[in-house]
Chains A and B, each alone.
Chain A
Amino acid sequence: MGSPAVKKEVPVPHPLEDLVRMERIPHIWCSGCGTGSVFTACLTAMKNTGINYDDFAMVSGIGCSGRGAGYINIDSFHTTHGRAIPFATGIKMARPETNVIVFSGDGDLFAIGGNHFIHAARRNMDITVICVNNFIYGMTGGQAAATTPHEAKSSTSMGGNPESPFNLPLLAYAAGATYVARWTMLHSRDLADSIEEAINHKGFSFVEALSPCPINYGRRNKQKPLDTLREYHANTIIKNNADPGELGIDFKQKVILGKFVDIEKPSHDEQYHRLYHETSTKS
């Protein structure tokens, strides 16, 4: 194609263009926002599975990362606030062969949608949940969230957050998730590999991706986008199979990354099929 000797003028398409609604690019995410990086890791993982794009569905809730569903060029649903997981559950029950990916943020998945998360994990619903965790409510103006680190500043905790954040991998594990991992958007290769593994995993998979929100979190906490990435590099440690109880986030200590849970257990649709389809046809 074209003349190979000229470097930049050859219009080679970006390798993910087949998965992105290119007419909507540039996306709305701010300069330095990590959501686009997590999204890229997710699309790369989907591509690497080799699964036909028609056998995927992506569901997002509300928030900056909730825009993901609007940018992907496959079947996708941009749902009501906090309800991405119930929609995903519905898709999975109606079409068990579909690989359902929930791409949403910490506020959507763990504050307003927290109950749905724990019950889908308890049921071992065979969906893949990717949480872009930026420690804040980005879209609505930087209010403290259920994931804001202790003492961090937000628009509703100018003197520091008096609360403690959720330890999301522990929550997922305790509720019954059968695949749990955490990376940062800087660990892009590990993140993409982990999402690929999560998609291939039968059962409820949860991947937490730490990601900068320079506008609403970084600014108040005196972190430029590159400072946040440096923190992801210097203040994290990879410890696969770490005890989920140790995974609380406090950048004064090292934050633990890795794959923590990967167990086999019948998924909800397998159990449902066994009890309601196999038995009824046998009798």
Chain B
Amino acid sequence: MKYWRVPLDSEEVEVTQGVVHIIKDRCKGCGYCIEYCPRAVLEFSKEFNKNGYHPPRVRAEGCLNCHYCELLCPEFAIFSTEATAEQAAV
């Protein structure tokens, strides 16, 4: 998302675009992040991590940077950050 100016309430209202970071080898494959992402941007990957679980991977654009997966994940294995200008423009 590109702004021609920064919205005045951008501090309160988070309409940011996010980047999901997945630390694959920490994942235990519970699927909670996949099931409850409000934008359904995640899915199980086919690959195994070092402990034999299928970690999530990004299947679609649209991460809101809502941090919900980050809070719900029991393993510190997924989190989101705000997309930088370059990332958001992609």
Residues of A within 8 A of B (CB): 4-5, 7-8, 12, 14-17, 20, 25-27, 29-37, 39-41, 44, 185-186, 188-189, 192, 225-226, 229
Contact = CB atoms under 8 A, between A and B. Distances in A.
Contacts, number: 80
B44 interface: no
B1 to A, nearest CB: 16
Contacts of A7: 19, 58, 87
A40 B71 contact: yes
Contacts of B68: 188-189
A36 B73 contact: yes
> Looking at B26, B28, B77, B87, which has the most chain A CB atoms within 10 Å of its CB?
B28
B16 interface: no
Interface in B24-48: 26, 28-32, 35-36
Nearest to A19: B76
Contacts of A188: 68, 71-72
A25 B86 contact: no
B21 interface: yes
A31 B28 contact: yes
B85 to A, nearest CB: 8
Contacts of A37: 32, 71-74
Nearest to A7: B19
A67 B52 CA distance: 24
Contacts of B53: 31
Nearest to B77: A14
A16 B28 contact: no
Contacts of A12: 21, 81
Nearest to A22: B76
B86 to A, nearest CB: 5
A8 B21 contact: yes
Given A188-B68, A226-B35, A229-B35, A16 B76 contact: yes
A15 B70 contact: yes
Interface string B50-81: 01010000100000000010111111110101
B43 to A, nearest CB: 15
B23 interface: yes
A14 B71 contact: no
Contacts of B87: 4-5, 7
Nearest to B22: A8
Nearest to A229: B32
Contact of B29 (A8, A16, A31, A229): A31
Contacts of B86: 4-5
Contacts of A16: 76
Given A8-B22, A12-B21, A229-B35, A41 B71 contact: yes
B74 A33 contact: yes
Contact of A15 (B31, B35, B74, B79): B79
A192 B71 contact: yes
Contact of B71 (A17, A29, A189): A189
B75 A26 contact: yes
